[in-house]
């Protein structure tokens, strides 16, 4: 969701700003812009569409200004037109800024500012902030002997006090061409510390190759950056000492490594991502899992009598898998909540309930808000996420990192399987504190250790999936059907197809098909059945018979050498036979590949599907 970059130093700013925005393209955007401030004053360039359009425009007359900021916008207010692209100007041109987030009271503020004579040129909520800071400059103290940055910092503070909502802001001033101010609340910003130069970005990836010294700004913090140094302030408590972290950023430089798309690369990275999720976390001696970041005492661990898993989209599907896993292995009641609903509900949560927020980015606004709300009420909150230093990692009482590596493709793949793997280990972890036997714990560990191999074997179905995709790429509707562990997998498969191919698809428990969805079955609507051998195998076969009787085409995801499935299905994609609790992680692989190849055949932008953002930082 949107991208911010900023630079102040001794070199020309534009090369870093453009490269930084390129590294943030994966977040999703519909327009882009850059502002610089030099001897000629403020210069702003904005374009709609891909970043190459902005690069072409800047190439006509590049500026050598040594301070600037850039932005890629994902529309929340106003259509994707140049007038709504960032950066936005405030007052008579004395302020220019870029903004991530949503200002909830922008209508009221806009009315007040318009009445005061401010002229609005866009339909965005962000322009309101620019004008508000310009108004703050009029009110700021310019007492003799004051810090030269003080009037500008005071103006920003005053403006922030009027805002209700979320923001990550980068601000330049026409009359201070050596000052960049950043402010954060609910939308991530990181400061990169160099030698005589300082960087700003909405995540760490643009800083790779420039510096490995990072400051993660927290909510209510502001940073002032000049070529001679930087300071960090709390909005209300004054100047604070920032914690500068050393971070290995080279791995954040995106590379396709021979693959045509990041999504395909990340699908094929899943065996290694799963290994990384398990590395150092399986304990043979006690037949359990080890997590160093949960921050729970043994007494607290044993007293847990209920778990709430909350997330959005793919993370919510992983949470559904986690519900099955934890209840089966640990016998602890688990509830799964949409984070977007939990944040506004007031459910009864007992003292011994754990709340896990599940999110790849660690910035998902609804999940972050749900975790913060439950924490505010005094409940223990934990996070499962992939991004070190993310907002949810800072907000939660503890948690678990996936260590899946950077995920560039908007449609999540390796994060889903890594989430499921971590949740399986959590089931083992809690189970061994209760009734799960030592022998069962050992068997679970043995199965988990074989999981990367099984996922690697599942990837060998790609040529078969490609042929199936060729046959059904023109369909306008798909049904995805599974039972038990494979019901959430069906939901995830349908979501992947919707996200990147724009085909309508729905996932259901296979038995629920008879209660309505069967009305959709016809010869033009393929049904994808997840039918690996297990407890409900015969039941799913019966559901397949019902679809076959109504002329519906059947694509079956099944184990090797299954003549019953082969006799019934129109197309069969084989995956390894694995223990039922690991079936979602293996069975989802052909569904990911099916979505990818269907989208490719249809000419869709696989890595950057329309209307979607990688990190959803707004409601």
Mean pLDDT in runs of 10 for the chain (619 residues)? 90 94 84 90 91 88 89 85 94 94 92 94 94 91 62 94 93 94 92 94 89 91 94 90 83 82 96 95 95 85 93 96 96 96 90 94 91 92 90 91 91 96 96 94 97 97 97 96 96 97 96 88 94 92 92 94 93 96 97 98 93 71
Closest CA relative to residue 474, chosen from 603, 609, 612, 607: 603
Tokens in use for 605?
């932008």
Rounded to an integer, what distance in angstroms lies between the CA atom of residue 97 and that of residue 219?
19
**What integer pLDDT is reported at residue 358 of this predicted model?**
97
For tokens 């899946």, what's the residue? 404
Q: Hey, which CATH number is domain 262-601, 3.30.70.141, 3.40.50.2020, 3.40.50.10490, 3.40.50.2000?
A: 3.40.50.10490
**What integer pLDDT is reported at residue 145 of this predicted model?**
47
The 10 Å CB-count burial string (b at 16+, else e) for 499-518 is bbbebebbbbbbeebeeebb
Whole-angstrom CA distances from 514 to 485, 543, 551, 552, 570 are: 20, 8, 15, 14, 21
For tokens 């609005």, what's the residue? 120
Q: Where are the chain's structural domains?
A: 3-252, 262-601
Tokens in use for 172?
């330049």
Active site residues: 2, 614
**What integer pLDDT is reported at residue 403 of this predicted model?**
92
**What integer pLDDT is reported at residue 252 of this predicted model?**
67
For tokens 């106003």, what's the residue? 78
**Residues 339 and 312: beta-carbon distance below 8 Å:** yes
Q: Rounded to two decimals, what is the model's pTM?
A: 0.85
Whole-angstrom CA distances from 71 to 44, 56, 96, 202, 557 are: 11, 16, 12, 10, 43
Q: What is the dihedral of CA 597, 603, 604, 606, to 10 degrees?
A: 50
Strand order in the sheet with 229-234: 88-90, 95-100, 167-173, 176-185, 221-226, 229-234, 238-240
Rounded to an integer, what distance in angstroms lies between the CA atom of residue 167 and that of residue 175?
24
Whole-angstrom CA distances from 333 to 308, 328, 489 are: 9, 10, 21
Tokens in use for 231?
């300071």
Helical segments of 521-582, H only: 537-549, 563-568
Using alpha carbons only, how large is the chain's radius of gyration in Å?
26
The reply to whether 3-252 and 262-601 are identical in fold is no
Beta strands in 123-266 (DSSP E): 167-173, 176-185, 190-193, 198-201, 213-216, 221-226, 229-234, 238-240, 245-246
Backbone angles phi, psi at 217, to 5 degrees: -70, 140
Closest CA relative to residue 430, chosen from 328, 319, 292: 328
Cis peptide before 81 (omega within 30 of 0): no
Residue 338, strand partner residues: 311
Distant-in-sequence, close-in-space partners of 249: CB < 8 Å, separation ≥ 6: 204, 205, 207, 208, 209, 211, 212, 214
**Residues 65 and 58: beta-carbon distance below 8 Å:** no
**Residues 434 and 331: beta-carbon distance below 8 Å:** yes
Residue 70: strand, helix, or coil: strand
Residue 115 Cα to chain centre, angstroms: 39
- Per the CATH hierarchy, to which homologous superfamily does domain 3-252 belong? Aminohydrolase, N-terminal nucleophile (Ntn) domain (3.60.20.10)
Q: How far is the first Cα of the chain from the last one, in angstroms, to the nearest whole number?
A: 11
């Amino acid at each position: 969701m949107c991208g911010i970059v900023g630079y102040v130093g001794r070199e020309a700013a534009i090369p870093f700003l453009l490269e930084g925005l390129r590294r943030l393209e994966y977040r999703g955007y519909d327009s882009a812009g850059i502002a610089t401030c030099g001897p000629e004053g403020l210069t702003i360039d904005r374009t709609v569409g891909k970043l190459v359009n902005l690069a072409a425009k800047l190439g006509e007359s590049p500026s050598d200004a040594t301070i600037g900021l850039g932005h890629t916008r994902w529309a929340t207010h106003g259509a994707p037109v140049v007038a709504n692209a960032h950066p936005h100007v405030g007052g008579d041109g004395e302020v220019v800024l870029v903004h991530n987030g949503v200002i909830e009271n922008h209508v009221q503020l806009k009315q007040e500012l318009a009445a005061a004579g401010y002229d609005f040129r866009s339909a965005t909520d962000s322009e309101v902030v620019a004008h508000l800071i310009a108004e703050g400059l009029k009110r700021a103290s310019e007492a003799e002997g004051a810090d030269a940055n003080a009037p500008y910092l005071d103006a920003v503070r005053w403006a922030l006090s009027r805002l209700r909502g979320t923001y990550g802001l980068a601000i330049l001033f026409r009359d201070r061409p050596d000052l960049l101010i950043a402010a954060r609340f609910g939308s991530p910003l990181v400061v990169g510390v160099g030698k005589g130069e300082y960087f700003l970005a909405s995540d760490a990836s643009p800083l790779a190759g420039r510096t490995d010294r990072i400051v993660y700004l927290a909510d209510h913090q502001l940073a002032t950056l000049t070529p001679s140094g930087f300071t960090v302030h709390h909005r209300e408590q004054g100047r604070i000492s920032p914690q500068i972290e050393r971070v290995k950023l080279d791995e954040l430089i995106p590379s396709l490594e021979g693959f045509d798309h990041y999504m395909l690369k990340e699908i094929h990275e899943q065996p290694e991502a799963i290994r990384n999720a398990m590395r150092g976390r399986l304990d043979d001696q006690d037949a359990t899992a080890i997590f160093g970041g949960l921050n729970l005492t043994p007494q607290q661990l044993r007293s847990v009598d209920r778990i709430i898993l909350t997330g959005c989209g793919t993370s919510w599907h992983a949470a559904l898998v986690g519900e099955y896993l934890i209840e089966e292995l640990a016998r602890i009641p688990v509830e799964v909540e949409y984070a977007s609903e939990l944040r506004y509900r007031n459910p009864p949560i007992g003292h011994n309930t754990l709340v896990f927020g599940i999110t790849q980015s660690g910035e998902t606004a609804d999940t972050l808000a749900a975790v913060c709300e439950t924490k505010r009420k005094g409940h223990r909150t934990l996070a499962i996420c992939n991004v070190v230093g993310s907002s949810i990692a800072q907000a939660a009482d503890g948690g678990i990192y996936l260590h899946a590596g950077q995920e560039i493709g908007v449609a999540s793949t390796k994060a889903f399987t890594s989430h499921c793997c971590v949740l399986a280990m959590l089931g083992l972890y809690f189970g061994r504190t209760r009734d799960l036997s030592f022998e069962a714990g050992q068997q679970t560990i043995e199965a988990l250790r074989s999981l990367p191999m099984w996922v690697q074997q599942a990837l060998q179905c790609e040529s078969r999936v490609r042929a199936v995709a060729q046959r059904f790429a023109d369909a306008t509707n798909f049904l995805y059907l599974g039972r038990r562990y494979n019901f959430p997998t069906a939901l995830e498969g349908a979501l992947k197809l919707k996200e990147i191919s724009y085909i309508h698809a729905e996932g259901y428990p296979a038995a629920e098909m008879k209660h309505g969805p069967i009305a959709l079955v016809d010869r033009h609507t393929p049904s994808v059945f997840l039918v690996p051998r297990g407890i409900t195998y015969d039941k799913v076969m019966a559901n397949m018979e019902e679809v076959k009787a109504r002329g519906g085409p059947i694509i079956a995801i099944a184990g090797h050498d299954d003549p019953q499935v082969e006799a019934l299905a129109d197309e069969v994609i084989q995956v390894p036979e694995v223990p039922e609790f690991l079936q979602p992680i293996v069975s989802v692989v052909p569904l990911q590949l099916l979505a990818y190849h269907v989208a490719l055949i249809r000419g869709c932008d696989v890595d950057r599907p329309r209307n979607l953002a990688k990190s959803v930082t707004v409601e």
